[in-house]
Structure 1
């Protein structure tokens, strides 16, 4: 049974239909990536999964349960956590305070210290800057903080929306290594990413979305070798 399943799911912004009968699934333990051009519907898909955008039609299931109308905060309680596009750190709060905000739905407060240690092990830079305001961090450090905050919710499914956007090359390599490490620790990952090369290299499976519709799917290796994908997303004629 898939951990996450979108079954003929559609979504609107007012009268404009942004997603058209999206069907995809993410199995437990996978890294699945969603690639597509700007405006294709990637971020809208993530917002629908996290509960920020409502479902117009179709069904969204998590762990076999219909969560299509479940509030966003209750989806976090169920085990869905998102690191959003643009990072969204709280600029006036310290690194520690930002990370604590990620755990706001948790009732198992006694184990927060262990999870904080895990985040600092993944991101030693955050440990060094634990008392620094989030807004004073570099772009790469803010991305680390956004992912760390999402991990503090102790998710079963981690949604990562454009984690490499605007980062220097050395940070991009580091972020993708850490995504692989997070997955190896048992967290399922759904990744939206403009850097298709890096994303497909690490994905177990992948989907291509165009104008709100899934147009292609396969393993990461299959899509990396697909001539149409090479030309459209990898810059290979």
Structure 2
């Protein structure tokens, strides 16, 4: 079973490091919630793992394969997908055409449309005409259609109504249950921890806590201390 391993990664952005010596592991079938205060470096870490940002030091591996110097496309071919903040749909393409960009087979398209019945009803509609929630579903469905082994999700709830976001959480859980390893960054910390098995807290660019997500969720004092960066 291949895992994704982040080993001592440091990322520089602008004046200096925004991520310092971070290590974590993503295991197939499990969701890891990456939490921390605003400006902690969570988005930069995801971008470094997926290849959007270069890594100053450290390494990223999937199984025996060193991805540290590979391009984002190369990492995607190894099974690593990244849903970035915002809704990056191709507005001039229909919902179905958006999904076909990443799906390898028609069966994969059918499978994700079954997960998102709202999109099945709008399959022939240009993505630009969808609501914000529907566009976010397209982004998520497009990532699922690629059937990645490892999925990074950055602020899925951004710009969504709470009812839409809570509708998507079980879909993420189901995707993990089918074997994917997921790293989830989410502003609604307690909702992220509620569906995760593992938790990593980042503060000021450093990991301040790692452990089972249920334990962190059940201990507000521990979560508060971890956010402040006072615990390792």
| TM-score, L = length of structure 1 | 0.90
**Is 2:132 the partner of 1:166?**
no
**Is 2:17 the partner of 1:17?**
yes
Superposed structure 1 runs of 4+ greater than 6 Å apart: none
User: What per-residue deviation string (whole Å, max 9, x for no partner) do you get for residues 202-230 of structure 1?
Assistant: 11100011111111111111111223355
User: What per-residue deviation string (whole Å, max 9, x for no partner) do you get for residues 61-112 of structure 1?
Assistant: 1123211001110111110011111121112221112112224xxxxx4xx1
Alignment coverage as a number of residue pairs: 227
User: What per-residue deviation string (whole Å, max 9, x for no partner) do you get for residues 181-216 of structure 1?
Assistant: 111122221111111111101111000111111111
Offset of residue 43 of structure 1? 0.9
Q: Select 1:120's aligned residue among 113, 119, 140.
A: 113
Report 1:95-114 matches (<5 A). Answer: 95-103=95-103, 109=104, 112-114=105-107
Q: Select 1:211's aligned residue among 204, 213, 220.
A: 204
With over 3 angstroms needed to count, the CA separation of the structure-2 counterparts of 1:230 and 1:19, relative to structure 1, is closer
Aligned to 1:106: none
CA distance in 1: counterparts of 2:192 and 2:59, whole angstroms: 27
Structure 1 unaligned spans of 5+: 104-108
CA distance in 1: counterparts of 2:160 and 2:225, whole angstroms: 22
Report 1:33-48 matches (<5 A). Answer: 33-48=33-48
In terms of mean alpha carbon deviation, does 195-204 or 182-191 score higher? 182-191
Q: CA RMSD in A?
A: 1.8
Contact 1:2 1:26 in 2 (8 A): no
CA distance in 2: counterparts of 1:229 and 1:123, whole angstroms: 36
Offset of residue 24 of structure 1? 0.8
Contact 2:87 2:136 in 1 (8 A): yes
| TM-score, L = length of structure 2 | 0.92
User: What per-residue deviation string (whole Å, max 9, x for no partner) do you get for residues 130-170 of structure 1?
Assistant: 11121221121111110111122220011111111221121
Contact 2:201 2:208 in 1 (8 A): yes
CA distance in 2: counterparts of 1:208 and 1:40, whole angstroms: 9
Contact 1:196 1:233 in 2 (8 A): no
Structure 2 unaligned spans of 5+: 228-232
Contact 1:10 1:58 in 2 (8 A): yes
CA distance in 1: counterparts of 2:101 and 2:13, whole angstroms: 29
**Is 2:136 the partner of 1:143?**
yes
Aligned to 1:154: 147
With over 3 angstroms needed to count, the CA separation of the structure-2 counterparts of 1:233 and 1:118, relative to structure 1, is farther
Contact 1:3 1:64 in 2 (8 A): no
Contact 2:209 2:226 in 1 (8 A): no
CA distance in 1: counterparts of 2:201 and 2:56, whole angstroms: 21
Contact 2:176 2:182 in 1 (8 A): yes
